[in-house]
Amino acid sequence: MDNITYAYLETTNYCNLDCSFCNRTDVIGELQHMPLYKWETLLDGIKHHPIEEAKLMGMGEPMLHPHFDHICRMFKETFPKSKLIVATNCQYNIKEGLEFRKKFQECMKYIDVLYFSIDGWDESYERDRAPAKWNKLIKFLKDFETINRYDCDVVVNYVVNAYNVDDIEKVDKLRQENNLGMLRLNIAQIWDENTKMSDDLATSGYSREQLDYLKDTWGDNIMGRSKWDFEDCFWVKNGLYTTVEGDVKMCCMNTGAKPFGNLFENSIDEIRMVDSYQEVKKGCGDNKPTSHCKNCSYKELVPILEYLGV
Ligand SMILES: C[S@@+](CC[C@H](N)C(=O)[O-])C[C@H]1O[C@@H](n2cnc3c(N)ncnc32)[C@H](O)[C@@H]1O
Ligand code: SF4
Ligand code: SF4
Residue 142 pLDDT class (50, 70, 90 cuts): very high
Question: Ligand 2 atom 4: the closest Cα is on which residue?
Answer: 19
Mean pLDDT of all residues in 112-122: 98
Instruction: Write out pLDDT tens, residues 246-257.
Output: 999 999 999 999
Instruction: Write out pLDDT tens, residues 196-221.
Output: 888 877 777 899 999 999 999 999 99
Instruction: Write out pLDDT tens, residues 144-179.
Output: 999 999 999 999 999 999 999 999 999 999 999 999
Atom of ligand 2 at shortest distance to CA of 87? 2
Question: In the chain, what percentage of residues exceed pLDDT 70?
Answer: 100
* pLDDT-wise least confident of 36-45, 196-205, 293-302: 196-205
> Considering every ligand atom, which ligand is closest to the CA of 250?
3
- Asked if residues 70 and 110 have their Cβ atoms less than 8 Å apart, the reply is no
- Give residues with Cβ within 8 angstroms of 24, minimum separation 6: 13, 15, 18, 59, 60
How many whole angstroms separate alpha carbon 226 and alpha carbon 309? 8
Q: Find the angle CA(200)-CA(204)-CA(206) to the nearest 5 degrees.
A: 135
Question: Would the CA dihedral through 222, 223, 225, 230 be positive or negative?
Answer: negative
How many whole angstroms separate alpha carbon 66 and alpha carbon 308? 41
pTM of the predicted model, to two decimals?
A: 0.97
Question: Ligand 2 atom 6: the closest Cα is on which residue?
Answer: 22
> Considering every ligand atom, which ligand is closest to the CA of 191?
1
End-to-end alpha carbon distance in the chain: 31
Mean pLDDT of all residues in 264-287: 98
Atom of ligand 2 at shortest distance to CA of 21? 1
How many whole angstroms separate alpha carbon 272 and alpha carbon 4? 10
Q: How far is the CA of 275 from the centre of ligand 1 (A)?
A: 30
Q: What are phi and psi of 306, to 5 degrees?
A: -60, -45
- Regarding the beta carbon of 293 and ligand 3, being less than 6 Å apart is answered yes
Average pLDDT of the chain?
A: 96
* pLDDT-wise least confident of 58-62, 77-81, 133-137, 293-297: 293-297
Question: Ligand 1 atom 21: the closest Cα is on which residue?
Answer: 188
- Pocket, ligand 1, Cβ cutoff 6 A: 15, 21-22, 57, 61, 87-89, 115, 117, 157, 159, 186, 188-189, 191
Instruction: Write out pLDDT tens, residues 14-40.
Output: 999 999 999 999 999 999 999 999 999
- Pocket, ligand 2, Cβ cutoff 6 A: 15, 17-19, 22, 24, 59-61, 89
CA distances from 83 to 151, 153, 289 (A): 12, 11, 30
CA dihedral 183, 162, 17, 151 (to 10 degrees): -10
Instruction: Write out pLDDT tens, residues 49-96.
Output: 999 999 999 999 999 999 999 999 999 999 999 999 999 999 999 999
- From 17, 25, 92, 243, mutation site for ligand 2 pocket: most ligand atoms within 8 A of C-beta: 17
Question: Among candidates 156, 21, 135, which has minimal Cα distance to 87?
Answer: 156
Q: What are phi and psi of 47, to 5 degrees?
A: -70, -15
Question: Among candidates 79, 77, 34, which has minimal Cα distance to 242?
Answer: 34
- From 192, 230, 277, mutation site for ligand 3 pocket: most ligand atoms within 8 A of C-beta: 230
Query: What pLDDT was estimated at residue 1?
Result: 82
Q: How far is the CA of 243 from the centre of ligand 1 (A)?
A: 15
Three-state SS at 82: coil
How many whole angstroms separate alpha carbon 246 and alpha carbon 100? 26
Query: What pLDDT was estimated at residue 145?
Result: 97
- Asked if residues 168 and 127 have their Cβ atoms less than 8 Å apart, the reply is no
Q: How far is the CA of 25 from the centre of ligand 2 (A)?
A: 9
Q: What stretch of H or E contains 187?
A: strand 183-187
Query: What pLDDT was estimated at residue 190?
Result: 86
